[in-house]
Amino acid sequence: MKSGFISIIGRPNVGKSTFLNQVIGKKIAIMSSKPQTTRNKIAGILTTDDYQIIFTDTPGIHKPVNELGKRMTEAAYQSTRGVDGIIFMVNFKEPISTGEEMIIENLKKTRTPIFLVINKIDLAKNKDDIIKKIAEYKDLLNFKGIYPISALDGSNIGELIKGLLEVLEEGPMYYPKDMVTDHPERFLIGEIIREKVLLLTKEEIPHSVAVTIESLKKNDDGLLECYANIYVERDSQKKIIIGSKGAMLKQIGTLARKEINNILGEKIYLELWVKVKADWRNSNVVLKSLGYDLDNY
């Protein structure tokens, strides 16, 4: 049996979470068109009879403008230490940016095998465009392999897995065979709620939202009861999330409850409250209380 750990890093919105969900075959990471959706490292566990690969999805690496951003970027770089391989994911449709150049400079410091994964090739007009994109990157770093893929439809992911297995050694099964993530239900539920806020709101709201699960337990009838807080930074944001006569908050709760039912396979009673914590993204104390603590990474 082969086993090992693979970190996935890249700029925001290159498709890391979509890739992780596609590989695992189950939704374990939330997705959104909004940049910086992923805030925590999320492990996805792929197990077969022959191997177990533990993938780590990380926050998109960006130029931080607040304490939360600093922690997210540091968490992404921390994830590349002590692993068996690194997936550096880029967007086929985007030119090489200063962000990618910064990541490449950091990756030059490691001896860990690095796999360049060019995502979103389903958007390519022809094969020549893919070849050109490979040529743009191939000499920038000593890549162990270069794999054009589509995380959306799964194209060429099988070949990527084969390449990753070449750098893994024989080892133990670190997690039970039926386990697909190391995060508890509380984390998944909180992320699903936040995903629905991202889906239904715009402008500055998505970046200002955090979710905590205050209580999660089964009642005497076997129904999962969940009470969650949605935190924002200003009263004006609170009003937007609640909406006219509570319509927005109700819609967030309805969508979240349906998704939680599907993922966990059990019915849930979900009650949401919206609270204000001014400038929470720059407060070390509040960040820790909300779970954005580097010690937890």
Half-sphere exposure of 28 (CA within 13 A, CB side): 26
Res. 157: pLDDT tops 60: yes
Average pLDDT over residues 284-293: 74
C-alpha 40/C-alpha 72 separation (Å) is 7
Structure tokens at 257: 């409850």
Res. 290: pLDDT tops 70: yes
Q: How far is CA 199 from the centre of its chain?
A: 15
Average pLDDT over residues 3-10: 92
The reply to whether 2-170 and 185-296 are identical in fold is no
Q: Do residues 181 and 42 lie in contact, with contact meaning Cβ atoms separated by under 8 Å?
A: yes
Torsion of CA 197, 57, 39, 118, to 10 degrees: -80
Higher pLDDT, 54 or 35: 54
What's the farthest any 2 CA atoms get from each other in the chain?
Answer: 62
C-alpha 148/C-alpha 115 separation (Å) is 11
N residues, the chain = 297
Res. 288: pLDDT tops 80: no
* Burial (CB count within 10 angstroms: exposed 0-12, middle 13-18, buried 19+), residue 283: middle
- Domains of the chain: which residue ranges? 2-170, 185-296
Question: What's the pLDDT at 159?
Answer: 97
Q: Do residues 220 and 204 lie in contact, with contact meaning Cβ atoms separated by under 8 Å?
A: no
Which of 59, 25, 26 lies closest to 42, judged by CA? Answer: 59
Average pLDDT over residues 91-105: 90
> At 114, which helix (H) or strand (E)?
strand 114-119
Average pLDDT over residues 243-252: 95
Question: What's the pLDDT at 182?
Answer: 81
How many Å from the N-terminal Cα to the C-terminal Cα in the chain? 27
Average pLDDT over residues 140-164: 95
Q: Which CATH superfamily is domain 2-170 in?
A: P-loop containing nucleotide triphosphate hydrolases (3.40.50.300)
Res. 297: pLDDT tops 50: no
Question: What's the pLDDT at 195?
Answer: 87
Query: What pLDDT, in 10s, does the model give residues 165-176?
Result: 999 999 999 999
Res. 36: pLDDT tops 90: no
Res. 39: pLDDT tops 80: no
C-alpha 21/C-alpha 27 separation (Å) is 5
Which of 98, 58, 96, 52 lies closest to 77, judged by CA? Answer: 58
Helices 157-165 + 16-24 axis angle, to 10: 80
Q: CA of 5: how far to CAs of 30, 66, 95, 117, 228, in Å?
A: 21, 30, 29, 16, 32
Q: Do residues 16 and 30 lie in contact, with contact meaning Cβ atoms separated by under 8 Å?
A: no
C-alpha 97/C-alpha 291 separation (Å) is 31
CATH of the domain spanning 185-296, picked from 1.10.10.10, 2.60.120.10, 3.30.300.20, 3.30.420.40 = 3.30.300.20
Query: ∠ CA(193), CA(39), CA(263), 5° rounding?
Result: 40
Question: Reduced to 3 states, what is the DSSP secondary structure of residue 98?
Answer: helix
Average pLDDT over residues 195-203: 85
